Amino acid sequence: MDESSPTPQPDPLALSRCLRAELIAFVNDAGARRVLPSVFHVGRPGGRRGRDQLAVPEEGYFGPGLRADLVVQCLDSIRPLRDDVIVPWVTRSGDLVPFDSDVAWAAGAREAFARYGRAFPGFFVITRQGWLNLSTGDIAEVRIRRRRARSP
């Protein structure tokens, strides 16, 4: 962990492209399921799972300290480079409004990014409808059509 100077904020255009790629993957993975679990992610949105990003399923008993520790462990595991687009986000079903668990993850992520010495790029909530940045309140509503698997 390098505490000397925080990393610069990611380029907004690059971040938007990454979030759109993650949204498309989320919608396609969700398929026709109506209720989806809430899952916290950290890393590069739209990247390869396990290499560029890690996920932690939501559990009701997670406290603020545990959430921050989990985010730090995820950041340690993916070993982000200084100029990587590294952001925290939650994928879930529902509307583009903050849920209690979203706010709790955002607080834990903000603490972890500070411990790690990285600039906090915002906290994003991704649903089928688009994404919401909890830090700024910006909403990007995006229409994504799910690709259906067709038999040959």
Q: In this structure, are strands 87-91 and 124-127 parallel, antiparallel, or unpaired?
A: parallel
Looking at residue 77, what is its pLDDT?
Answer: 86
Looking at residue 118, what is its pLDDT?
Answer: 82
* Cα–Cα dist 108/75, whole Å: 13
Write out pLDDT tens, residues 35-78.
899 999 999 898 888 778 899 999 988 988 899 999 999 988 88
Looking at residue 148, what is its pLDDT?
Answer: 56
Q: What is the pTM of this model?
A: 0.84
pLDDT at position 7 over 70: no
* Cα–Cα dist 110/104, whole Å: 10
CATH 3.40.140 fits 12-134, yes or no: yes
Domain boundaries, the chain: 12-134
Is residue 149 within 8 Å of 30, Cβ to Cβ? Answer: no
Write out pLDDT tens, residues 87-138.
999 999 999 899 999 999 999 999 999 988 888 889 999 999 899 999 887 7
Looking at residue 144, what is its pLDDT?
Answer: 61
Looking at residue 40, what is its pLDDT?
Answer: 96
What 145-152 contacts at long range (C-beta under 8 Å, 24+ apart), as own/partner pairs, is: 146/27, 146/28, 146/30, 146/31, 146/32, 147/28
Looking at residue 13, what is its pLDDT?
Answer: 85
